[in-house]
Amino acid sequence: MRDRILIRDLLLRAIIGVNPSERIGVQDVLINIELEVDLRSPGASDDIHDAVNYRTIAKHVVDLVEGSRFSLVEKLATEIASLCLQDRRVELARVRVEKPSALRFARSVGVEIERRRGEP
């Protein structure tokens, strides 16, 4: 399948990290999400009920991230992917989570994961 929904550069704030200084206050977290979805039905019908509502998914991601206290970006990315796969029409979720201030002299550091429906 080649159809995709893209959510780009979602800039949120979360408590994330393993260092004590990272556990006191929120940090910027940059999130990019790519969802593999069959878009033929909504493309033909022009009906929101046939589409994966990316606004709803983004709202759930915001709620998850801003309420989280994970140590690792790997865990945060995994939870975001799981959330995206709750919509049965999403076959694959590719999630990139970056911490813009994690390393001195680097624009950001992050992870990218890919989870497919039905895979562990």
Question: Do 84 and 95 meet the contact criterion of CB atoms below 8 Å apart?
Answer: yes
Q: Is the pLDDT of residue 99 over 70?
A: yes
What local confidence, expressed as pLDDT, does residue 63 receive? Answer: 98
pLDDT digits (tens, 9 = 90+) for 59-85: 999 999 999 999 999 999 999 999 999
Residue-range definition of the domain harbouring residue 86: 4-116
| Gap between the Cα atoms of 85 and 74, Å rounded | 17
Number of domains in the chain: 1
Residues forming the active site: 99
pLDDT at 1 over 80: no
Element housing 82 (H / E):
helix 73-84
Tell me the C-alpha distance between 50 and 38, whole Å.
10
* CATH code where residue 83 lies: 3.30.1130.10
| Angle, vertex CA 119, rays to CA 88 and CA 34, nearest 5 | 60
Q: Name the pTM for this structure.
A: 0.94
